[in-house]
Amino acid sequence: MKNDKWIRFYTPEILADNLMDQIDNLFLPSNVIDICAGSCNLLRQAQLKWPKAKFYASDIEKINRESYLTGKFFANQIDARDISSIKKEFKRKRNKLVLANPPFGDSTTFQENSIPSNLQELYNSSKNANRIECQILISNFAILNTGDVFAGVLPENIFSADKMYGFRENIFKLFDNLKVSTHSIKFNSSEVKTRLFTGTFKQLKENRKISSPQLSTSKNNQEINLIRGIDNSVLKNYKPSDSNLEVLHFNNLEGKILQRKSIKGDKNYESKIIGKNDVLIFRVGRNAGKIFIPQQKHIGLAPSDLLLIFKNGKKLGKKDLEKFELSLSRRTKGLTSKYISKNDVYEALKPTENCA
């Protein structure tokens, strides 16, 4: 019997198709597995791309005969939270592609059995989330060997919820060739936000190393001076003049002014003036999380609140700024309009913990 506590929907074909497109064309799997296979839509799309592979569908429910694929197809009925049984069945399959669109929802039961050592850290970071998608993902990762590819339709919360921070950072450590794209599935009355996640599983040894961007100079929140630009709602569209100070209002990577904005000159915005060692961070919009090195013409002006000023950010140096930007880009939230918070910036500037 279906436990209707869990949101159940089948993977729409278009989403399955987009997911397959995200997988590197050079990868030719011998075995394709979905441990929450449902309608087998994910597997069916994979078969169109790799017709010679073997296909394995497993689900907590019996796979419906009508959902069976033609050709080399094998069906199973296993509770995916039972890591031992899942591993026994699938771990030894070589050169595999593991597909997942796990059920999303709260979970109160947690089985601590057979967590592989390379996933212990990930498991620990999932404990306080109490989400079934975390449990099922751990089972998916438990059957991966080095070089296997994982491709999943994953809920947005994994990538944006604050309480999922540790969990997603640990996931990122497990893979090379990471690609994450955003999508949403529309149903009659609701919208499910998801991200398509693909990556190649790393060697166990590498999993233990720090793979997230790590800054050579770690900073704590007190040392980081982040200043939000001037609130957009108080800006005027007047041209700058003796009585109106120019405010930088842009969110493009070239620094082109979006609209000329200004503010009454009698207000004191000294703390929001861009200095020569400062770095700007796009706070909202499609470039949210990207950094901008102010040009000479920007220095001495104040930005609008589309931007954050990272005071003396240039002192991090070019390499660390690149790592910082990469780390920040993983933290952007929102689907239709992206944004980052100050807290995301603090987190991106923290050293990553070694999980060895």
Ligand X SMILES: C[S@@+](CC[C@H](N)C(=O)[O-])C[C@H]1O[C@@H](n2cnc3c(N)ncnc32)[C@H](O)[C@@H]1O
Cβ atoms within 10 Å, residue 70: 9
Q: Does 230 bind ligand X (CB under 6 A)?
A: no
Q: Does 155 bind ligand X (CB under 6 A)?
A: no
Among 20, 42, 129, 245, binds ligand X (CB under 6 A): 42
Of residues 308, 297, 303, the one with CA closest to residue 259: 303
Among 46, 53, 60, 263, binds ligand X (CB under 6 A): 60
- As a residue count, the chain comes to 356
Among 21, 24, 61, 353, binds ligand X (CB under 6 A): 61
Smallest gap, in angstroms, from Cβ of residue 44 to ligand X? Answer: 8
17: tokens are: 């198709």
Smallest gap, in angstroms, from Cβ of residue 309 to ligand X? Answer: 43
Among 39, 170, 207, 329, binds ligand X (CB under 6 A): 39
Q: Does 6 bind ligand X (CB under 6 A)?
A: yes
Among 29, 38, 229, 289, binds ligand X (CB under 6 A): 38
Smallest gap, in angstroms, from Cβ of residue 8 to ligand X? Answer: 5
- Per the CB < 8 A criterion, the answer to whether 123 and 130 are in contact is no
Stretch that binds ligand X, among 76-84, 158-166, 242-250, 331-339 (CB under 6 A): 76-84
Q: Does 59 bind ligand X (CB under 6 A)?
A: yes
Is 294 buried (19+), middle (13-18) or exposed (0-12) by CB count in 10 A? buried
Report the residue number whose CB is nearest to ligand X.
38
Please measure the distance between the N-terminal and C-terminal CA atoms of the chain and give it in whole angstroms: 41
**Segment (H or E) for 150:** strand 149-155
Q: What residues between 80 and 109 interact with ligand X by CB under 6 A?
A: 80-81, 101, 103
- Per the CB < 8 A criterion, the answer to whether 120 and 174 are in contact is no
Q: Looking at beta carbons only, is 16 or 171 nearer to ligand X?
A: 16
Inter-helix orientation angle 165-174/132-142, to 10°: 20
Smallest gap, in angstroms, from Cβ of residue 2 to ligand X? Answer: 6
User: In the beta sheet, which residues pair with residue 31?
Assistant: 54, 96
Phi, psi of 117 (to 5 degrees): -60, -35
Q: Which positions touch ligand X (CB under 6 A)?
A: 6, 8-11, 34, 36-42, 59-61, 79-81, 101, 103
